[in-house]
Structure 1
């Protein structure tokens, strides 16, 4: 593990987070099985092993971009109340997928205008499906899908496409949080043993895979008494064109939910690709000579389309996002009469 992260986890044991940030944390179901049908997830139910199995290869240039906060939170969760995604949730999703397939849909309904928690990952983008041919050395893939779907799609591209993951979950869980980060922890545990088995097959030049929750920007500001853990991807998580070129990356493929394409080979030119916090980064990449392509996850053939950015999209503003004193994002929204508090 990169020295900076090693030092972080040493300090983690000495760090005392505010009780407001720690109290009541749970994730998943401790009685649930992992994706392989066993209890091997228990070996990853601590911050450091979960962080490592879901991170890039040791010595990789991508290590500095692997976000810490969500993984760090695991060591402060109640170990009696942490586990993988509940089996009832997995079974309900399986039933929804079968129903959608019988109806002739590739996902749960039409492609959504924006990501939401009911998004259903199509079967051709789940573990066990063939990996897309464009996932190769020299390509960086950004998986930007809602919540648990992003984690499962990442497990697919690591296990079947031999990519190395870089997680961007830069926020803290909390019982009153706007974003249900505990669902991500449970899904990370569900697939941890699958990734552990796959990591032995990864080559040193394995394509990097940025794993992003498309719900990260949220839909509203936090209200007094809530824990506002909305977040955006900043320069600490997004590599510059020079970093990419030095690492041999010449192409970025954005695997998202929809792009308003007019046809199967039409360019992605709609207002929803990419999410707002990535617009400036995409512009920098294009200016720096990095090719960008978009792949809508609903396409069974997962064909890359040329990216055509919109010049009229407003500049993303980070001013309403609440950084935590512990790093990452997430603080309680104070009552109007209060001087405020931070996590």
Structure 2
């Protein structure tokens, strides 16, 4: 079957939602509202490509983005390419490569989630964790559903006096904890307005859960909701909060809150097997690991990576970040913020 590909418009929104619902994926990753955040905070251009059958029905979707001016890679977010059949997927891949070439980019890195696509491209895989949420009527049902160790940690957190808030008023305090922790670890940072804009654009589809100790933020988790699915996107906690068990309490409250909203699937995101985060999501939360597939559409299998024209600014920031542990915290924070705009941000 032949498929044509074109850029989505506002009139395609309802048909896109129906297509994504039929394919059982979390549609929030490819929501066009992310384009506004990418443009305002990262000078990145986002495009939603739609593949259609000869009858005009949507047969595939790809959300992709790249940095304007000095970018070198076209990216997709997790589960960025969703297609009804291999021919539609191939048509979307060709169109993505054409966009990259027209923009002078050297790489096109996309992911099709758990669907393994055929093709000659260089490929690799990662582990992503998904949690199936049953109907949890009350707090006792949540505790009974949790693994024993997590249940004990939730009770410990409550004994330590931690309380959960589900209001967005704590977003500035969450960002302060997030900024401090990631700067300490030498990890790239989202800019200050990123989370505020996310809350504004997604409104009721954005859920911030905050663990409080005497009205002070000990930790928080930020979720995106779409249909009957949700995604766990961002987390930060103080060292004191971690010791008090705030992450376990936050995830227990997330399960209760999301279940009450009719959410049945929670995407916990990618993690490295054997890491503490992977163990928390699987052993601590009961999530199931799945293989997700990545492709570089401008590199054939078993060939070396291309030599990219990396700009001076990116080289300088990359070099500085690699040595950021030796820099003062304030300077390290500035560099980590700047460096975040040169790679994959969703």
- What TM-score results when the alignment is normalised by the length of structure 1? 0.26
Q: Which has the higher strand share?
A: 2
Instruction: Report which of the two structures shows the higher radius of gyration computed on alpha carbons.
Output: 2
Identify the structure with the greater helix proportion: 2
TM-score (norm 2): 0.26
Higher relative contact order (CA 8 A, sep 6+): 2
